[in-house]
Amino acid sequence: MTNILILSGLILNLIASILIGYGRIFRSKKTIEKESQTRGEENIYEEKHRLLETRVAQLGAILLAIGFAVQIWGNLADS
């Protein structure tokens, strides 16, 4: 049971790290071009994309904390 908890925590941490880096890892060339098309006015596409990046990173941070907590729980249950 403790090995399952520890492994579950590690899997959560892996998923969380991918979510935290989502905005940089999976950014396409088209997205970069759309974000760089600012000519002095607001770029609505960039604002929406950065909001999405922020929400996904926040979810990743929460999952990271949960993953560490599950690993600690698994290690403490083993003792």
Render pLDDT for 24-68 as a digit per residue (tens, 0 to 9): 887 778 877 777 776 667 777 778 888 989 999 999 999 999 999
pLDDT score at 35: 72
pLDDT score at 40: 66
pLDDT score at 25: 82
For residues 46 and 54, the answer to whether their CB atoms sit within 8 Å is no
Per-residue pLDDT at 72 exceeds 80? yes
For residues 12 and 74, the answer to whether their CB atoms sit within 8 Å is no
For residue 40, CA distances in Å to 36, 43, 76 come to: 11, 9, 56
Give the DSSP letter of residue 42.
-
User: Could you give the CA distance from residue 77 to residue 57 in angstroms, rounded to a whole number?
Assistant: 30
